[in-house]
Amino acid sequence: MTPNSPDSSNACATSVVERAIELGPTPLSRAVPIVLGLLAAIAVLMSAFPWVMKLPLAVAALAHAAWLDRRERGRSRHVLDFDGDPRLDGIVLRDARVELHGPWLTLVRKDDRGRWRRETWWCRLDAVNRRRLRLAIAGERHMLSPPMLAP
């Protein structure tokens, strides 16, 4: 290295490449309905409704938040493996699409019965792994066809 050479940069540094993502309920996805239910109950109690209506509405808001929390807690955990053929819990995904909107990962796929399912999870991926996931799910559908050659 000469004295006039530029310092090395980390722009080309290798990033950790993941092979699989564990998807399931997160503490944040469980806390949001509880917080919103509490805020809804407080908003109802601060409103101009008569007390005969305020209390049942506040209790209904809290009960609905508890139901949403229980439903979120009951969601099963999945492992999405996108090294090679994309697999969800060991089953190869044939007709699947991934939508990444910020930290939310949405998987649109056909289940065992042939029905379309749409599942969304909170997931943090860096740019390299986002691209790998998109390419793995896209498979050969987005590959360029070979150039036409003259006979």
Report percent pLDDT > 90 for the chain: 25
- Residue 16 resides in a domain: no
Name the nearest CA neighbour of 80 among 105, 114, 116, 115. 105
- Regarding whether 102 and 85 lie in a shared domain, the answer is yes
Residue bearing the bigger pLDDT, 143 or 38: 38
What number is the average pLDDT over the span 36-48?
Answer: 95
pLDDT digits (tens, 9 = 90+) for 17-35: 567 777 777 788 788 899 9
Same domain (yes/no): 33, 60: yes
d(CA 90, CA 111): 13
6 within a domain of the structure (yes/no): no
Domain presence at residue 14: no
48-62 tens-digit pLDDT:
999 999 999 999 999
- Count how many domains the chain has: 2
- Cα–Cα distance list, 49 to 30, 40, 54, 97 (Å): 30, 14, 6, 47
Query: Model's pTM, two decimal places?
Result: 0.58
Note whether 66 and 87 are same-domain residues.
no
- Expressed as residue numbers, the domain containing 27 is 23-76
Residue type, 113: R
Is-contact 58 51, C-beta < 8 A?
no
In terms of domains, do 102 and 112 share one? yes
